[in-house]
Amino acid sequence: MGLTVAATALAACNGVTKSEEGSGSSELTVGWNQPFYSLNDQTGTGNNVTNANIAYLTNSQFNYFDADNKLQKDTSFGTYEKTSDSPLTVKYTLADTAKWSDGVPVSAADLILGYGANSGNFNTVKADDVKTDENTGATTAPKGEAYFNAAGAGANGFQYISKFPEVSADGKSVTLTYDKPFADWELDFFNVLRTPAHVLAAEALGTTDADAGNAAVIKAFQTKDKAALAKLANFWNSGYDFADTPKDKQLLVGSGPYVVSAAKKGQYVTVKKNPKYEGDHKGKVDQITVKFFTDATQGLAALKNGEMSAYEGQATVDSVKDAQGKGLDMIRRPESTYEHIDLTVNNGGPFDPKSYGGDEQKAKLVRQAFLMAYPRQEIMDKIIKPIVPDSELRQSLVTFAGAPGYDEISKTNGAASYGAGGEEGIAKAKALLKQAGVTKAPVVREMYDKTNPRRAAEYALAAAAETKAGFKMVDTGDGDWSAKLGNKSYDAIFFGWNSTTTSVLGSMANYVGGAGSNFQGYKNPTVDKAYNQLQFTTDQAEQIKLLKTIDTAIYGDAVTLPIFEFPGVVFYDSKTIGGLDPAYLSPNMFYGFWNWTAK
């Protein structure tokens, strides 16, 4: 039935359809630029904007950011309060209206699972001891060992909660006591509650009764039962990875206004209203289908043909002109996602000191040469500015334009020394390679999303510049690039980091040694120490000083460069959809989906 309904929505005229004549039931079809592949966006492999968008539609949380970057609370899901500053103590209480789509109340067990899986405190092995599949990015811990592959592990306050949380007798509240004050404590449960504890217990432990399953999850973490935790971790890491409608419908259980009803790999995901949802964000539309078009030209054609009502893709000069020619409406504004180029330093490639007998300085000179030649300004001028004319190069890795301290940090962090590429950058790169004593062109395998036209254009510009500078470029573009993050099969990669909050610690998981989103193998004691201090610093002036220290150290190591903030463009048909209010922060177009209307 689910597939039939989805097919109806996909074929609907003007992206809107009535399920039954006179029923008032409505459906919308919208588009996004990358396919969905996991309903658990909290894992290292599932940590992807597309996955987060679907999870946003299908799960509730204690708080969220609005279109003006203001933190709002959803008291229909639950409340939280800081009950003590010393030690920092926070009590979370779930509302009676917080329920999973199978009717089971959201409970303390779900909070314990969220805390336990994302803290890293219950892993019995380190990341270095875990095998990573080169094709899928999936992790495999040694037999019997527990390893939760959490994207945010090592970058949230959960890791500083060594005392097991206090669970209320009624199972509705959990009290967290931190070992020390934590700057972003209010965001620790942000976007964390994706996997129901009772479902995970059924899948991983074979405990099918919901109450018994919840109790088993709490017990596993509380007693640090390695065998049980290993089973829970294995399923949490990959059990929610699917692109087609899973046969096991338990995997679709969510706590939000919508629930996944159908999915087709590479094509679409359909969500329909969750009849068990009793919160404040009930959608006005009964069913939403999200279609995937990596090529904006195809997405705009589908929009113009009435196959959908709105589309957010990676806008190009041609797509904007195309939309104008087709008479489509557009909302244009900057987004928090920014493009960056990362260099892998632990794979025996051209940027790894091991390739030069452990000579750190030589490897750094090669990295500096590559980044010096990277044509950032050319990419801006030819690909981004025609869409948003006043776009500027992003100059910080740890904060964004308009945020407190951005200008101050950018002036002294070393970004200016890399310039913007061009002939001057190429000349400097050649000199650096000569200084390093490199006589043979270093071979650089560069990864990117080859199905994305804008990124294909970026690669063409980069490859041309780097070849002139003395590098031998190998195109390893791949449509499945995100599943291969960190698998050491590439030497350079460019993609977008997406900010979901205004947290000063938002970049921490990217650069702390061993953190969940540090895919480069990068480690710097100065960076680790400064982030550690930043976690416990609430004074803004001190936070800016620490961010400057971090940014300067990373730039100094020549392992990454920011390029541009995404020019956000939502293409839509105002005759068929209302209520769009895209946000600067992720989930961008999907923010406020509960206000969408089908005209």
Report pLDDT digits (tens) over 256-293: 999 999 999 999 999 999 999 999 999 999 999 999 99
- For residue 69, what pLDDT is reported? 85
d(CA 195, CA 113): 8
Which pLDDT band, with edges at 50, 70 and 90, does 12 fall under?
A: very low
d(CA 467, CA 464): 5
Average pLDDT, the chain: 92
d(CA 167, CA 173): 6
Looking at per-residue pLDDT, the higher value among 573 and 483 belongs to 573
Q: Among the ranges 78-92, 417-431, 509-523, which has the highest mean pLDDT value? A: 78-92
Which pLDDT band, with edges at 50, 70 and 90, does 315 fall under?
A: confident
Which pLDDT band, with edges at 50, 70 and 90, does 4 fall under?
A: very low
d(CA 478, CA 474): 12
d(CA 123, CA 239): 18
Is the pLDDT reported for residue 3 higher than 90?
no
Burial string for 255-287 (b: 16+ CB within 10 Å, else e) reads: bbbbbbbbbbeebbbbbbbbebbebebebebbb
Kindly state the helix (H) or strand (E) to which residue 65 belongs, with its residue range. Answer: strand 63-65
From residue 149, alpha-carbon distances to 49, 152, 225 in Å are 17, 9, 18
From residue 295, alpha-carbon distances to 7, 32, 382, 588 in Å are 21, 10, 18, 19
Question: Which DSSP string do the residues of 314-383 spell out, in sequence order?
Answer: ---HHHHHHHHHHT-EEEEEEEEEEEEEEE-SSSSSTTSGGGGTT-HHHHHHHHHHHHHH--HHHHIIII
What lies within 8 Å, CB to CB, of 539 at 6+ separation is: none
d(CA 36, CA 351): 32
What lies within 8 Å, CB to CB, of 520 at 6+ separation is: 342, 343, 344, 345, 346, 559, 560
**DSSP class of residue 589?**
G
Is the pLDDT reported for residue 7 higher than 90?
no
Specify which residues 474 forms β-bridges with.
Answer: 445
Mean pLDDT of 88-101: 98
Mean pLDDT of 492-503: 88
Name which of 147-151, 178-182, 307-311, 330-334 the model is least confident about: 330-334
From residue 578, alpha-carbon distances to 46, 53, 188, 501, 574 in Å are 31, 19, 33, 26, 7
- For residue 379, what pLDDT is reported? 95
Strands 287-292, 26-32: pairing is parallel
Which pLDDT band, with edges at 50, 70 and 90, does 154 fall under?
A: low
Name which of 126-140, 186-200, 281-295, 438-452 the model is least confident about: 126-140
- For residue 336, what pLDDT is reported? 84
Looking at per-residue pLDDT, the higher value among 483 and 576 belongs to 576
- For residue 132, what pLDDT is reported? 80
Kindly state the percentage of the chain with pLDDT values over 90: 77
**DSSP class of residue 498?**
-
- For residue 127, what pLDDT is reported? 83
Neighbouring C-beta atoms of residue 417, cutoff 10 Å: 13
- For residue 19, what pLDDT is reported? 38
Place of tokens 């400057």: 548
Looking at per-residue pLDDT, the higher value among 1 and 569 belongs to 569
* pLDDT tens digits, 18-77: 433 334 579 999 999 999 999 999 998 898 889 999 999 999 999 999 988 889 999 999
d(CA 317, CA 340): 20
- For residue 477, what pLDDT is reported? 97
Is the pLDDT reported for residue 590 higher than 50?
yes
pTM of the entire predicted model: 0.78
Looking at per-residue pLDDT, the higher value among 212 and 390 belongs to 212
- For residue 568, what pLDDT is reported? 86
Name which of 102-106, 117-121, 189-193, 384-388 the model is least confident about: 384-388
